[in-house]
Chains A and B, each alone.
Chain A
Amino acid sequence: MMRRMRIGVTATCAAAVLVLAACSSSSSSSSSTTTTSGPSFNEGVTSVINPSTAKGGTITYDDSSVFDSTDPGNTYYAHVWNFSRLYATPLMTYTSTPGAGGNDLVPALATAPGVVSDNGLTWTYTIKPNVKFEDGTTVTSADVKYAVERTFDRTVLPNGPSYFQVLLGGNAATYPGPYKDRSKNIMGLTAITTPNPTTVVFHLAKPFADFDYVVAIPQTAPVPPDKDTGANYQLHPISTGPYEFQSYALNKQLTLVPNPNWNPADDPEASQLASKIVVNFNVNADDIDNRLLAGDIQMDIAGTGVQAAARARILSSPSLTKQADDPLSGFMWFFYINTKVAPLNNVACRRAIEYAANKITLQDAYGGSVGGDLASTAMPPTVIGYQSFDMYEALSKPNGDPTMAKQELTACGQPNGFTTGIAYRSDRPKEVAAATALQAALATVGIKTTLHGYPSGTYYSNFAGSPAYVHSHDLGIDIGGWAPDWPDGFGWFDEIANGNAIVPAGNTNIEELNDPVVNNYLAEMESASSTSALRAMLANEIDHQVMSDAVMLPIVYAKSLLYRSPALTNIYVQKYYGMYNYAVLGTS
């Protein structure tokens, strides 16, 4: 499933050494070792910068757009999931640490990971006793059940993931949500049972080995039924985290203050240090960078990196470069190659595209090695089980291989090339540049393409994401980007490669791949007997199979050039989010 990340300019050099060397063209520093005074470039990826337990101060975030919702049950943006940890505690969460451990699950509201029974159909969680809401009332398992139940009414809360609706058994398939009947004693979803105030039991329709990842989604953060105001809950969610809402002018400004009823022992992955947190919405993106660098604000909440002007400024100043990090964002950019639009239904024609593409011009469209690393696989290095391989010479011949491409063209019966369409989002300049670059590269081997730009608001719902439209308009190649809801192979591949995920509108399996090998691997990953080692291995297998099917043309593993404000303490990159961890920040 795809978490959405705000799209901005992502930029960085591939490694500290390369950065300082590349930047030495306009600066005098060309040292490749870290300086002894203060933190250095990229240090935030591997260690905590400015560790401190000092309290007080105000942290100001700016957002170039708005949250899809502050309601933890109604959001699907990575940075909102990150930020919501300040006022919502789900059953499980990710260990707050820099480096590799940042992808590991750890209990939050729960005392331990789910206990599996009944051949993988039952998951039992025990929640910590005496966890309090912001108003002092104790959290019970009924509040967790209610939190999940309310997400079933998509006319009120349409934005969040729908895993619970798909995975749970009982009456989950027909349960309409609690708003249709708001009596307090009706607990309608039979798939979740609460035998006592500290136990929550989930009854699945079929085994799902990754269920611990599913309950790490903010939708399991408890909601008191008598304080739930439906669509208005976003204006003041009842907090179980270190902070609570003081005021929220919808889409304008949000202010959080410390939650007096929060016990630090309840959630070691979050901290209560700053005495005030402010978020400003709809701020001009270029202006955010200016404010950040001037010290007027401390964080760009979207977490996708600075814009081009600031990127150049940061990378050409050694003192500013030391305060930047360039993590892999967990996102990947690629082109879908549709398997139903002729002649791309023949795998050799698709392979021709893989060989013909000029990966360097494509990478430059996203900002060069600044914007991401050249990609040769269908899954990025941040997914568990990733191993590098290069089926179509993306790394060995990054400018493309016209000879091999022409061979593949002959093999698929189109020795003089063919015509097809490339779809992209016209309001994303990088995608315009990438589509143009691909068109130019494919033209050199005789593949003639027409470009079709669409607005991003309706790209997935009406155009690329509508198989009927793709077929009728010959959109053989469609640009896309993806980030997983959790960092294993299923979280990455299920929605973009599972034959069962093809839907008539809002489709994300845009290549319409229906390969039984892939479908079976995905099913096996979530079977009751699956282990994490098996899933890692299967992820790699699916990766190879998808690339062999040539249904994806990988462009880059995205990176974000993040600026680390010197005013912040305990700042580091959380691998799961691909950006700084907002739950632990303080200010000095």
Chain B
Amino acid sequence: MVTFIIRRLIGTVFILLLVAAITFAIFFLLPRLAGETAYGLATQYVGRNPTPAAVHQMEQTLGFNEPLYVQFGRYIKAIVAGEHYQGQWCGPPCLGYSFKNQQPVWPQMISDVPVTLSIAIGAAVLWLIGGVTIGVISALKRGTIFDRLSMSVALAGVSLPVFFTGLIALELFSYKWPIFPNVQYVAITQNPYLWAKNLVLPWIVLAFLYAALYARLTRAGMLETLNEDYIRTARAKGLRERTVIIKHALRAALTPIVTIFGLDLGLLLGGAILTEVTFSMHGLGLFTVEAINNQDFPEIMGVTLLAAFFIIIANLIVDILYSVLDPRVRY
């Protein structure tokens, strides 16, 4: 197991390099295929109506006229060893300076991480517990009103865009009935009560979107395992119904749940874009939106690498959990 983990961690470094190379290629290579020149690229970052001298200067400073592999090499070197830029020192991991506001990217991202973490983890706990519970009950009460109703509500959650449910939630619970007035992010170190209170709406809205998949998967998995022979045996042994359901039926159905939980949480940690935009919370998602709008390459790279890291680690943890949940699994 330990060698397995070490091998995977080494592999992580290579994956991150690959993702960085891909992002680099998308950003610099693709436009070249469309006829973009280094001069044209530099124009994007020199503001309105610059003099040609200013554009050339920017080309130079940002290194656009160097060959791509040189630019890429310099970028990777900065991450590992840090770099000097415009008279400042940027220590490892140095993810460069924003093209838009010339501030270092890494500190900006780090200050956004707690927000995304708060939103993602809180919602994840909610949709996991809520979704699985509804799924179990739906499986047990198959065909009843509860089953049909919960399925419809879950499907509605998937069919509606997140920004809509978020807006409606705000209009109803923040303005019409001021149960959650003035929703904005408050750091947990500042005021834990407000932190939690202001996050309730984003948590519920986000969980509403995901709960459907968890409920449906749990239900489907439970329906299968409930028909297995060993369930009949467990009941025949005289075990309490609750033990039968949770320890035996549910556990066997958990593999896909664990898989998608890792995927969903991993992806969300890279930025819950729609939720953060809707509730105006400054997390990695909002950061990503700004970066893309401004075509701000260092910020785009930084957030892509951080998101990739979360995804890879999440999948690694899930793979380890497989062997915990199902002792028959071996690698």
- Judged by a CB distance under 8 angstroms, whether A199 is at the interface is no
**Complex alpha-carbon distance, A280 and B286, angstroms:** 14
Known: A1-B48, A154-B46, A231-B102. A461 touches B40 (CB 8 A): yes
- CB of B47 within 8 A of CB of A154, answer yes
- CB of A462 within 8 A of CB of B61, answer no
- CB of A294 within 8 A of CB of B175, answer yes
- CB of A250 within 8 A of CB of B103, answer yes
Q: Nearest Cβ distance between residue A345 and chain B, in whole angstroms? A: 22
Among B46, B57, B61, B280, point to the contact of A282 (Cβ < 8 A).
Answer: B280
- CB of A158 within 8 A of CB of B45, answer yes
**Complex alpha-carbon distance, A501 and B181, angstroms:** 51
B65 / chain A contacts, CB cutoff of 8 Å: none
- CB of B282 within 8 A of CB of A506, answer no
- CB of B49 within 8 A of CB of A234, answer no
- Judged by a CB distance under 8 angstroms, whether A176 is at the interface is yes
- CB of A505 within 8 A of CB of B43, answer yes
- CB of B43 within 8 A of CB of A287, answer no
- Judged by a CB distance under 8 angstroms, whether A193 is at the interface is no
- Judged by a CB distance under 8 angstroms, whether B310 is at the interface is no
| Interface 9-residue window, one of A90-98, A160-168, A516-524, A553-561 | A160-168
Per the 8 Å Cβ criterion, residues 427-468 of A in contact with B are 456-458, 461-462, 466, 468
- Judged by a CB distance under 8 angstroms, whether A135 is at the interface is no
- CB of A296 within 8 A of CB of B171, answer no
Among A165, A281, A291, point to the contact of B51 (Cβ < 8 A).
Answer: A165
- CB of A155 within 8 A of CB of B293, answer no
Q: Nearest Cβ distance between residue A525 and chain B, in whole angstroms? A: 18
- Judged by a CB distance under 8 angstroms, whether A173 is at the interface is yes
- Judged by a CB distance under 8 angstroms, whether A540 is at the interface is no
A581 / chain B contacts, CB cutoff of 8 Å: none
A286 / chain B contacts, CB cutoff of 8 Å: 167
Among A231, A284, A458, point to the contact of B86 (Cβ < 8 A).
Answer: A231
Among A165, A176, A458, point to the contact of B44 (Cβ < 8 A).
Answer: A458
- CB of B50 within 8 A of CB of A506, answer yes
Known: A230-B86, A250-B101, A250-B103. A468 touches B54 (CB 8 A): no
Per the 8 Å Cβ criterion, residues 27-86 of B in contact with A are 31, 34-36, 39-40, 43-51, 53-54, 57-58, 61-62, 86
- CB of B54 within 8 A of CB of A162, answer yes
- CB of B46 within 8 A of CB of A231, answer no
A252 / chain B contacts, CB cutoff of 8 Å: 282
- Judged by a CB distance under 8 angstroms, whether B317 is at the interface is no
Known: A162-B49, A162-B50, A505-B40. A156 touches B35 (CB 8 A): no
- CB of A284 within 8 A of CB of B277, answer yes
**Complex alpha-carbon distance, A66 and B49, angstroms:** 21
B182 / chain A contacts, CB cutoff of 8 Å: 291, 296
- CB of A179 within 8 A of CB of B86, answer yes
**Complex alpha-carbon distance, A290 and B280, angstroms:** 13
**Complex alpha-carbon distance, A501 and B51, angstroms:** 11
A468 / chain B contacts, CB cutoff of 8 Å: 35
A501 / chain B contacts, CB cutoff of 8 Å: 49
A282 / chain B contacts, CB cutoff of 8 Å: 280, 282, 286, 290
A176 / chain B contacts, CB cutoff of 8 Å: 57
Q: Nearest Cβ distance between residue B110 and chain A, in whole angstroms? A: 12
- CB of B39 within 8 A of CB of A287, answer no
**Complex alpha-carbon distance, A4 and B242, angstroms:** 64
- CB of A466 within 8 A of CB of B48, answer no
Bitwise, A146-186 to B at CB < 8 A (1) or not (0) is 00000001111011111001100000011010010000000
**Complex alpha-carbon distance, A68 and B294, angstroms:** 10
- Judged by a CB distance under 8 angstroms, whether A22 is at the interface is no
- CB of B39 within 8 A of CB of A284, answer no
- Judged by a CB distance under 8 angstroms, whether A426 is at the interface is no
- CB of A158 within 8 A of CB of B46, answer yes
Per the 8 Å Cβ criterion, residues 218-242 of A in contact with B are 230-232, 234
Q: A161-B47, A161-B48, A234-B101 are in contact. List 16 more A-B contacts (CB 8 A).
A: A155-B57, A158-B45, A162-B54, A165-B54, A176-B57, A230-B87, A231-B103, A280-B184, A280-B280, A284-B278, A284-B279, A290-B174, A462-B34, A462-B40, A469-B35, A505-B40
Supply 10 A–B pairs (Cβ within 8 Å), ascending by A: A155-B57, A165-B54, A282-B280, A462-B44, A468-B35, A505-B40, A506-B44, A506-B48, A506-B50, A508-B49
Q: List 4 tightest A-B contacts by C-beta distance, closest first.
A: A231-B102, A154-B54, A505-B43, A505-B40
